[in-house]
Amino acid sequence: MPKLLLRTLFAALLLLALLPAAAWLFFPWYARSLLDFALKDKPFRIEVSGIDLPTTSGIGFHSLKAIITTQPDCCNSEAVTYTLSLTNGFISWRLTTPNQWETDGFQSWLVGATFLLKADSLTINPKPEQFIFSDRNPRINLDIVVSSNKNSAISIKPLSASYTINGATVQHEKIGVEGISYNIRLSDAGHWQQPLDTLRVEKLVSNGNLLPVHHFKALFGSKRDPLKPCTLTLSDCSVELFQWKASTEHLEYDQKKKLSRFTINLAEIPLNKLPGFNLGGKKTPFATGQVRSSLPIEFKDSTLLVRNAMIVAKKGSKIILYTKEHNPFFSIDIGVIKGKDELLKNLNATITLNNKNNKFSGLTLSDLSATLLGGKISSTPVSVDQSTKISPFTLALSNIKILDRISLQGDFKGSLQGEVSGIVPLAVTNKSVSIQNASLQSSGKGHVTIAPPSKQQHTSERIFGPEKPDADYTFSEPNLLLNRTIDGYTTINFKLKHLQRKTSGGELALLSPEGRLSLRQNRLKPDLVSLSNFTTGFLDGTVAIKNMNFDLSRNEGETTLLLNNIPLQKMLDLQGTKKIYATGTLRGSIPVKIKNEMFEIMDGAMNAEQSGQIIYATTPEERAAANQGLRTTYEALSNFLYVQLASSISMTPDGRSVITIHLNGSNPDFQSGRPVELNLNVQQNLLDLLRTLSISSNIDQIISEKSLQMQKK
């Protein structure tokens, strides 16, 4: 019996010794049951697989999945289930020494524990939110306290939790956010509210393709505005948009509407870095200066809405065109000017992120409209692909106050006034701009002065005058039809209500001039400028040029002036005659060659378009003082009815000219209307005519001499 008792006692002691070992050895098999029992009736569950044998410092596992469901509330209309997945993790712990004290005669004890969870990866996948949060090598700390009360009940209370996110990602549909860094610090003392901390995002991608948004930074905490309980707010935000620095004071996300709102402020962006403005080189930039902007944006899914944005160009910002010698000759000041409208405001647009074959392919701008320089501008949809290639689009302009911002330089000076309206179809690449049938019109006017540099006196100075070679041009109501190919071939169909040229010697007015200019038409002759289909009102008639090619490099060209329906009286008035009255109109063809600043006329001709009347007026005193022969001539020319009037004109480059006039007709009141034939030769320097626009000629004397010749016949 004693031996049996001893054996039984030994077996019991052995069993007691083996129970912990067995519990430790079989822990991976019954741990799941213990966990399910502990979480019974809880709003979440945990699934663990691949549990390792525990040690005194912790326990490892292959995978752990926590599934938590939140109920619908005022911000979310449906329940959301969060699935947290950890792989290849290890939970370690560290206990603090228990403290004991007496309360109401009962002894209580308190012990603390710090848990550290490490894993290879962590993913959070909420449904139906449909985004996935992923982090590699997460480290999560949890501090708890274990206590007992007078009923010997044990309670566990969490004190704090922390999680340092470094390099995490979030994927939502086709948009990915990468390089997320943030410090989560929650505590019982802080009522489990996340304090403000810096949130960083390195880049934004779409299907693995980098979007032009990088290095986002903001302050974020979980405390919410009581007036906006469903809104998450980020403050003091900054980001790099394309290659520019941008900032916003607040970025709000409405959980109920799934909508983000923020205002991007861009400061000091170089104008020549913007798409479409980065043309030219360092010495001849297409645009200079800087712009800043304020862009209120609403973002939902893959669509950004821009509402009432503003873009302001810094004072002195310009768009510049150059001569072939790389000298500026034309510029538009788009900067801030006191008393004038800002560059762009009330900008509205819809920006959609495009995808092709499940990859990001670019952006599309639609519903684009704005107030530009005090007028209205709108555009058809514009697409920009990954290589920044911009699709063709059309701008509609209405009352744009741009003319008074245009400056002419070099040999050109002047001022323009008025507003511009029209339609401008554009195609923009990294290297050039093409325009197709752009129609622009204005009710304004302009004044342009051509002031060539002073040179030594030569023949052309007789045109302009040696002291003041300037020529002033004024025009009104321009109307343009513009085309430009991608390689620079440009045509401008123009029409003006009025064009006037004024020099120190006189004025020349053209009514409703219109025509077509062609630039860079011949790639082998880029300096060739063509004027075609030109017509204008002149002296109540018309002047036309079918075609004129002018070589800017050689400063030469030739054409033929076609005159139609020019009143004979106007031509006589132009030449300064005071005693001749005439009816009828002229038509003519005058070939002109231009070389440098000189021109010549070869075998030009002008003829009357129909018969007419010429009256040479004399006073009674002149007739009384004249001899019989001259008095007879006066009588013949007092009512001369011509049936033929023909003239020819030639002029050498130095201005010497010969004009021949042939008249054939009769006077019904003179010698019973017998036929009279008259030939006149006028030798003048026509450069003086162009300079003064009137010839102080001796036509009256020539007629008198011809009358004497008639008397001798």
Q: What is the pLDDT of residue 79?
A: 83
pLDDT for 10 equals 45
Average pLDDT over residues 315-335: 83
pLDDT tens digits for 503-555?
665 677 888 888 998 887 767 777 788 888 989 888 888 889 898 888 877 77
Q: Which token pair is 237?
A: 């935000």
321/488 Cα distance (integer angstroms):
13
Q: How far apart are CA 282 and CA 671, in angstroms?
A: 82
Amino acid letter for position 197: D
Q: What is the pLDDT of residue 316?
A: 87
- Under the banding of pLDDT at 50, 70 and 90, the label for residue 185 is very high
Average pLDDT over residues 244-255: 87
CA distances to 4, 59, 506, 578 from 18, rounded to whole Å, are: 21, 21, 125, 142
Looking at residue 522, the DSSP 8-state letter turns out to be B
Segment among 10-24, 82-96, 237-251 with least mean pLDDT: 10-24
Q: What percent of the chain has pLDDT over 90?
A: 12
Which of 528, 510, 508, 505 is closest to 518 using CA atoms?
A: 528
Strands 131-136 and 154-172: antiparallel
Assign 236 a pLDDT band (cuts: 50, 70, 90).
Answer: very high
**Out of 100-114, 284-298, 310-324, 391-405, least confident range:** 100-114
- The full length of the chain comes to 713
CA 518/CA 525 separation, integer angstroms = 12
Stretch among 274-283, 290-299, 487-496, 641-650 having the lowest mean pLDDT: 274-283
What is the structure's pLDDT at 276?
67
Highest mean pLDDT among 35-39, 42-46, 238-242, 624-628: 238-242
Cα–Cα dist 209/47, whole Å: 36
Alpha-carbon gap, residue 705 to 365, rounded angstroms: 80
Report whether 675 contacts 630 (CB < 8 A).
no
The helix/strand/coil state of 573 is: helix
Q: What is the pLDDT of residues 607-635, one digit of tens each?
A: 888 888 888 787 777 777 777 767 776 77
pLDDT for residue 458 is more than 60: no
Distance of alpha carbon 611 from alpha carbon 59, whole angstroms: 121
pLDDT at 681: 75
- Confidence (pLDDT) at 21: 44
Predicted pLDDT at 59:
85
pLDDT of the residue at 150: 62
Question: Two tokens at 75?
Answer: 């911000």
Report whether 279 contacts 98 (CB < 8 A).
Answer: no
More confident residue, 354 or 427: 427
Closest by CA to 116, choosing from 97, 99, 91, 95, is: 91
Q: What is the full DSSP assignment across 69-127?
A: EEPP-SS-SS-EEEEEEEEEEEEEEEEPPPEEEEETTEEEEEEEEEEEEE-SEEEEEEE
- CA distance readout (Å), 5 to 12, 14, 16, 189, 554: 10, 14, 16, 58, 131
Residue where the block lists tokens 């480290």 = 139
Q: Which of 40-49, 108-117, 345-354, 648-657 has the highest mean pLDDT?
A: 345-354
Distance CA 580, CA 560 (A): 29
* Whole-angstrom distance, CA of residue 230 vs CA of residue 252: 10
Question: Bridge partners of 90?
Answer: 60, 118
Confidence of residue 451 (pLDDT cuts 50, 70, 90): low
Q: Phi/psi of residue 319, each to 5°?
A: -110, 130
DSSP 8-state code for residue 713: -
Other beta carbons within 10 Å of 225: 10
Axis-axis angle for helices 699-712, 628-637 (nearest 10): 110
Q: Is the pLDDT of residue 123 over 90?
A: yes
Residue of 286 and 636 predicted with greater confidence: 286
Distance CA 31, CA 40 (A): 14
pLDDT of 587 > 50? The answer is yes
pLDDT, one tens digit per residue, over 127-148 is 877 789 999 999 999 888 877 7
- Confidence grade of residue 165 (pLDDT, cut at 50, 70, 90): very high
Q: Residue 51: what pLDDT?
A: 80
Lowest mean pLDDT across 85-89, 189-193, 280-284, 368-372? 280-284
Strands (DSSP E) found in 568-597: 580-582, 585-595
Q: How far apart are CA 609 and CA 625, in angstroms?
A: 37
Provide the H-helix boundaries in 147-268. Answer: none
Q: Could you tell me which residue, 461 or 409, shows the higher pLDDT?
A: 409
**Rounded-to-integer distance, Cα 313 and Cα 307, Å:** 19
The CA distances from residue 222 to 73, 166, 186, 196, 231, in Å, are 17, 19, 10, 8, 10
pLDDT digits (tens, 9 = 90+) for 337-386: 887 888 889 999 998 877 776 666 778 889 999 999 889 999 999 888 76
Cα separation, 410 vs 426, in Å, equals: 29
For residue 695, pLDDT over 70 is answered with no
Which residue from 364, 365, 433, 368 is spatially nearest to 396, judged by alpha carbons?
368
Query: What CA–CA distance (Å, rounded) separates 707 from 693?
Result: 28
Assess contact for 634 and 608: CB atoms under 8 A: no
DSSP count for the chain of H helices, then E strands: 8, 45
Residue 283 pLDDT grade (very low, low, confident, very high; cuts 50, 70, 90): confident
What's the confidence (pLDDT) of residue 87?
93
Phi/psi for 47 (5° steps) reads -120, 125
Q: What is the pLDDT of residues 78-95, one digit of tens each?
A: 888 888 899 998 988 887
467 — pLDDT class (breaks 50, 70, 90): very low
Confidence of residue 97 (pLDDT cuts 50, 70, 90): low
94, 112 contact by CB (below 8 A) = no
Mean pLDDT computed over every residue of the chain: 78
